[in-house]
Structure 1
């Protein structure tokens, strides 16, 4: 029987068993390839296991020996008389497939393949890997590796590696693709006394990936933070889903090799030319709340400080020091890293004047002078902590003749107990002179660093991490934009398909944008000089003529653009010139021109584009545009889909954003409109995956207007494989439908969205205590039910992991929407099973709404390819038991309730 617990963030029932439990808490372990050969992998593995105090039984497997290291050996895993939880395979690659098949026959649930000789050796090894993977999946065997060091679980005393030493127990989960780096980190950790909750060499990720391990460590009570050495991301959507769920409760810090590799080249678009694969990875990390660092020191510094200290709300640091020089160094490091010194509020300044000597610095850094006593430190820190503009504190101590580092540390510890809403860092400089005080600070849970500039950089990384988390769960809604002309879009795409072309003309591209309410400059197609003049007269001079072509990509480069034409004669000459310039490119290169008004270019030229990444699918680029876009390279990348918050964050990453807010007498551009254009643009590229690349360059923005002057869309060739899916799953609008309650109220059943938070708060205010108890198995105070942090986790879901349906009714008289019921389907990590939970407001129970919501969840489960849907129900909740029976669930009596299970195996599987 499974034991159920309640996740305090979601109030969703979860099982205490996870699919990776056989790896981290096995009771019986088989070593396939165990040997007594000195310094061999098989001998080291066996020795490490039998030397570990994990409390389980170890079975050597070697068909040529009756015993290994004095332990009875078995010819194969099928000969072992007891069921095996974990098999560790350390034999030549050609024999691994047979060993995996035997593991499946023996009922083994987890295997670590230490062996090398797979895809790293070429096609033959790649083929063997795929055979092993297909066999393992048919047999429900999970695999770590191949080509890995193994794993350790220090809290349980497990060492299933061939490393020469064992990691110390602690609260950091460490994951690495490099076995060699694992051993280096292990040596470093023992020297620095750093402990681990898990120490995993993941190898080439044949089966178990980053996402699987992040989910596991997210549920592990021993793990407080997760650090990763990454060489490749593998399944991008799995990683992002897991990271987005776990990062809000446990920091995830990544160091990745290969930052300096040459950026990917693209043939046709500015966007593609500006996108490097490492830049895309940075964008993905920002989107899922992962913090990327550059050095191993930063990796573990951040793991420790984020586990010890609260996250800052901003990037303003207050520095308290007894020496000016270290304060200056810390300031330089802070500003270089994007942080700011806290401007001291007048009340803070006055309070410091009242308690400090007249010679104090009178600004931040707060220099309390070299003769500072512990009491002076305490007074200055207490005042600085109360400043409303401060997001964090750094206390620096340098050993001077009148300084008592130990007593100052004790005083700091006492003062820190009253500072709970912002991080406090300490830099006790001076080696042996301050060692005793530094040790006291570390023992009290305060984070110390030997150098103040390093401390300032750590604060910058903390503020970056907080900045990312604030938008972590904002998966936007994908809705049809107002006045979307889908018929026009389908006509354009159909024409391109019939002609078997991939390049849309500028005119077609602008029609596409206009269909999404993205403003473009009016354009008229002219195939003769006379038509061009007629359109110019209609528009009014001056005008612009641009080449209309289905084959030429960059018009300016081939003389295909003429600006500021003042009269009919100039239009005729420009038409003839463009036609003449196209002759070297073939008879089909020139299809006429477009005639456009010559707009006042007072403002800023931006670029907005999208290009595919091989791992993350379409990626959005925003930044400074124009003809010199590749020269200035002031752009930022983001993953679609976007909402207004994510769009603003994307803009904030560029230097041009400061100018867009207004500078040197210029008014701010309409940033809200610009946000909406980015959001609509992200809708476009998600809804039409046949678009391979798209550029709007330039997008002219000023305080008076925002308009796309030029646009280019490139489609995937018809013979090319299916486009890469988006890394972030968009809003699943396919699950929206209308339904009528028994009282004739029309309701909309739809997936939940972030914007529903106010409605969900109102929904919880109208629930009875009985309904709350039946849903969550315990009472929850109203104040807790409507707390922002809790509602964030309820409304901001990852649709790859959860689908929550709401029943929305809009009152016809006042048009006020309200949510009458909520039903949630949550996939259990690493399985094809999901749990459901449901709540209907008390006044609307008995109207058939619960039946419709649960029936809708069943259909969602089938569409998502689930094997089963289940829930635990309280014995006294007879109504829910009856509803489940009516819809085909099988009920079974448990000690503490009833388990309801619905099998969806008969449904076709849909890959999402």
Structure 2
């Protein structure tokens, strides 16, 4: 996938946009996938050995490079001159393949670094999978590799293939076919099985990678590499452990917008470690979290090995559906019914036939056709009937895709029917799938369809499952990048972060990691979540005083710094209508706690107004996943929350769009929209509440768990009736706390500033909801500014297209940073973006591209210089080594700004631009 191109400083007169910065560095993984020379360390002639097999694979599949066996005991291996060690080779090598005992590998890695080797594949086993001794060897490998620029795949892997370059650096018995699918597997055994299957199924690969234990190169590195590879159209992954979750999701979020990523994860039924006291933890399993993370990054998860390849094929060959509605055309009723069952069970929908469609079908089909979807065109259907039916059904406006089912009957010609179908492969603009049911009789028809780009399946239920997965993929991407409403930050009252931090610190000062109910509600309130009025009383008289101030009826709850769930110890008394009832309830709580937990756990009661539960009890929570960090939960709440288990998971931070998609995954969402005469809950307000809660979770890392249960939702209000917050123990350092898998909004870079003319602006990182403001910014740009920014005139409609602005506003703060100058008109209160400064980190090398753009009316007022100055500081904060950018030769003003800020400039004859570089 091509890197997004950015521009530079824009101003009238002498200061104009820079041209595009071009990453010219060779990708480090090219040394592994496109080597010009390879050393096989451990090459041997021992039959059946790994060293012999990998050497034979390299020399029997010429890849255009040189192969050097390394074996201190032999003068030659398989007829090829051998060398005793790397330093004895007659030339440097790009790639070293290591097939020696594990204990020898750390020293060999040190030799690779000394010899300037750029890539290594460690086939050897016997590392962390055998225990601490193996893990220690992996640490030594990492330490020695860091001393150079060596990238490593493995250990304990099958190796890598680049079939397009004819490179087979594995000990597999055969070479994969060339194609456009990038395959990455954590299991070497599965690699060999898939390879064997792919040869029979004629599936080809652009890369075939066994990733092993990921001592260095991980999922994120390989997704980045294959994402930038023009020969790879889709990426399929078999995954057992995630490793660096943030790197995986960052790479996947960037690549999935351009290329499908399909993942099969092993260990679906293995539950994550549970937080015993947490409702949220009890509802969160490891695969559930993984699936939520994939949805958030646009990755499609599947449950079957075959589906990995089915989805790679259909997403590459067929148009993507615009909705979930499928039209089924069949010449037999039974398969149509089975396909319908499978579709509806998966969550898909049958398309409704419009009146026009029915009328047109009536004119070409026999009287007894089904007159409904599935469209049963009867067993005597000839090829022409199939073709005409498909053409009419494709025009149905309520259909998003078509499945053509054929069963071989006496009057059926599977081959000629397939021939008729070929012309509709992509012409309808809707995905077309086929199920030619049978064996040898339909094989030629299947072959014709597959060659034409119409995927075929042996059974129609498989085809409907694949269609629904196509829609899931499209729907996930659409929801991720749908422009959200303005966030809490954009309003006048943002979160009180200082107050939240003070509440947490006060608990630590008191030696506690469990916040009291009062503290928990105050923490929620600091982030704008509505809570019920709550007062603490430490004796009967105080409880009565508080109750009378609030007004009857009231609720008394145990106030304890140690007890998690109050109802478990009889710590809740409801519907108290007078002072005597309050006194009785107070004494009852004291006695119940004394008997069930001990008097030392009683510190008083809280007094709250009795809130009518005329609404829906929801749960909103967060717990910690060891790989993905904080995970959000939303669903049906109340005392039976674990029984109903109606919940959905998401990763913080959320936008309003993502909050809505999270709610839509639950059954209770249907009720929230209003049923049986009830008015709908204010869903927009509930979205904002979820967004605010996600900010709290993402920005306060000392929080380990939160349960807001119940969160009362009705047409009139949203109200947190109870809350429970657990903190990480104080001895756990911030660096030891699992980070959010998606980097939160970088609040540290939000700072006020003034233009030279005194205009106040807020310099802050860009947000997804800034898309409308970016449209307005582009509307202010002159043709000259546009020309110098993009090196040609780019039309406004192109510049403000949603698909383009997605990449501008929906950024991954781990991979890039964009600062906007946000101006708020004091008269109207409306916001405008006056300029943008951006850093995009290189996938290889610790450096970044910089760019700055300023709206024409606000140029030459110091904004461009200030944005660039802050980008430099961000680069230092992010531990980058250098910034780079290109400037048009005639852009003397920008050159002056760069020189003033310490950049070194050099003219490139090849690109006809000034190249600016700053070492950080």
Q: TM-score, normalised by structure 1?
A: 0.95
**Equivalence map 1:736-815=2 (5 Å):** 736-815=750-829
Q: Paired residue for 1:288, among 272, 294, 297?
A: 297
- Contact kept, 8 Å, 1:5 with 1:14, in 2: the verdict is no
Q: Deviations over 1:583-630 (max 9, x none)?
A: 243443111111122222122211111111111111111111111111
Q: Which residue of 2 aligns with 1:406?
A: 415
Tell me: CA distance 1:159–1:502, structure 2 relative to 1, closer, same or farther (3 Å): same
**2-side partners of 1:263 and 1:544: how far apart?**
36
**1-side partners of 2:271 and 2:730: how far apart?**
29
Q: Quick check: 896-905 or 855-864, which moved more?
A: 896-905
Residue 613 in 1 paired to residue 625 in 2? yes
**Equivalence map 1:314-353=2 (5 Å):** 314-353=323-362
**Equivalence map 1:175-324=2 (5 Å):** 175-324=184-333
**1-side partners of 2:364 and 2:5: how far apart?**
45
Q: Paired residue for 2:541, among 523, 530, 535?
A: 530
Q: Paired residue for 2:657, among 645, 650, 658?
A: 645
Tell me: CA distance 1:664–1:141, structure 2 relative to 1, closer, same or farther (3 Å): same
Q: Which residue of 2 aligns with 1:497?
A: 508
SS, match of residue 820 in structure 1: strand
SS, match of residue 725 in structure 1: coil
Residue 464 in 1 paired to residue 472 in 2? yes
Q: CA deviation at 1:90?
A: 1.1
Q: Deviations over 1:837-875 (max 9, x none)?
A: 232333433333222222221111111110111123343
- Contact kept, 8 Å, 1:872 with 1:897, in 2: the verdict is no
Q: Deviations over 1:257-303 (max 9, x none)?
A: 11112342212211112211111111111111111111111111011
SS, match of residue 756 in structure 1: helix
- Contact kept, 8 Å, 2:681 with 2:713, in 1: the verdict is yes
- Contact kept, 8 Å, 1:289 with 1:468, in 2: the verdict is yes
Tell me: CA distance 1:262–1:407, structure 2 relative to 1, closer, same or farther (3 Å): same
Tell me: CA distance 1:683–1:568, structure 2 relative to 1, closer, same or farther (3 Å): same
Q: CA deviation at 1:478?
A: 7.3
Q: TM-score, normalised by structure 2?
A: 0.95
Q: Which residue of 2 aligns with 1:841?
A: 855
**1-side partners of 2:464 and 2:25: how far apart?**
40
Q: Quick check: 66-75 or 710-719, which moved more?
A: 66-75
Q: Which has the higher contact order (CA 8 A, sep 6+)?
A: 2
Q: CA deviation at 1:766?
A: 3.2
Q: Which residue of 2 aligns with 1:908?
A: none
Q: Could you list the runs of 5+ residues in structure 2 that have no partner in the other structure? A: 8-19
Tell me: CA distance 1:511–1:6, structure 2 relative to 1, closer, same or farther (3 Å): closer
Q: Could you list the runs of 5+ residues in structure 1 that have no partner in the other structure? A: 906-912
Residue 578 in 1 paired to residue 589 in 2? yes
- Contact kept, 8 Å, 2:530 with 2:720, in 1: the verdict is yes
Q: Quick check: 874-883 or 723-732, which moved more?
A: 874-883
**2-side partners of 1:636 and 1:268: how far apart?**
19
Q: Deviations over 1:295-324 (max 9, x none)?
A: 111111011111111221221111122221
Q: Which residue of 1 aligns with 2:720?
A: 708
Q: Deviations over 1:624-654 (max 9, x none)?
A: 1111111121111110011111111111111
Q: Deviations over 1:539-598 (max 9, x none)?
A: 333221110000111110111111122322221111101111222434431111111222
Tell me: CA distance 1:299–1:72, structure 2 relative to 1, closer, same or farther (3 Å): same
SS, match of residue 727 in structure 1: coil
Q: Which residue of 1 aligns with 2:600?
A: 588
Q: Deviations over 1:661-687 (max 9, x none)?
A: 222232222211211111111111112
- Contact kept, 8 Å, 1:7 with 1:14, in 2: the verdict is no
- Contact kept, 8 Å, 1:641 with 1:728, in 2: the verdict is yes
Q: Quick check: 604-613 or 734-743, which moved more?
A: 734-743
**2-side partners of 1:587 and 1:480: how far apart?**
48
Residue 96 in 1 paired to residue 105 in 2? yes
**2-side partners of 1:417 and 1:229: how far apart?**
30
**1-side partners of 2:194 and 2:311: how far apart?**
15
- Contact kept, 8 Å, 1:265 with 1:273, in 2: the verdict is yes
Q: Deviations over 1:343-399 (max 9, x none)?
A: 222332333333333322111111222222333323322222222222211111222
Q: Quick check: 700-709 or 644-653, which moved more?
A: 700-709
Residue 900 in 1 paired to residue 915 in 2? yes
Q: Deviations over 1:709-768 (max 9, x none)?
A: 111111111112332111111111222233333343333322221112122223223334
Q: Deviations over 1:415-448 (max 9, x none)?
A: 344312x211111223222222221111111111
- Contact kept, 8 Å, 1:426 with 1:447, in 2: the verdict is yes
Q: Which residue of 2 aligns with 1:824?
A: 838
- Contact kept, 8 Å, 1:374 with 1:407, in 2: the verdict is yes
**2-side partners of 1:501 and 1:165: how far apart?**
61
**2-side partners of 1:15 and 1:646: how far apart?**
37
Q: Quick check: 167-176 or 489-498, which moved more?
A: 489-498
Aligned length: 901
- Contact kept, 8 Å, 2:618 with 2:711, in 1: the verdict is yes
**2-side partners of 1:402 and 1:412: how far apart?**
17
Tell me: CA distance 1:582–1:732, structure 2 relative to 1, closer, same or farther (3 Å): same
Q: Which residue of 2 aligns with 1:439?
A: 447
Q: Quick check: 201-210 or 767-776, which moved more?
A: 767-776
Tell me: CA distance 1:82–1:491, structure 2 relative to 1, closer, same or farther (3 Å): closer
Residue 541 in 1 paired to residue 552 in 2? yes
**Equivalence map 1:618-697=2 (5 Å):** 618-697=630-709
- Contact kept, 8 Å, 1:475 with 1:730, in 2: the verdict is no
Q: Which residue of 2 aligns with 1:732?
A: 746
Tell me: CA distance 1:480–1:580, structure 2 relative to 1, closer, same or farther (3 Å): farther
- Contact kept, 8 Å, 2:235 with 2:260, in 1: the verdict is yes
**2-side partners of 1:538 and 1:675: how far apart?**
33
- Contact kept, 8 Å, 1:321 with 1:327, in 2: the verdict is yes
Tell me: CA distance 1:863–1:630, structure 2 relative to 1, closer, same or farther (3 Å): same
Residue 28 in 1 paired to residue 28 in 2? no
Residue 515 in 1 paired to residue 526 in 2? yes
Q: Deviations over 1:792-826 (max 9, x none)?
A: 11111111111122223334444443323222211
Tell me: CA distance 1:803–1:491, structure 2 relative to 1, closer, same or farther (3 Å): closer
Q: CA deviation at 1:174?
A: 0.5
Q: CA deviation at 1:329?
A: 0.7
Q: CA deviation at 1:472?
A: 3.0
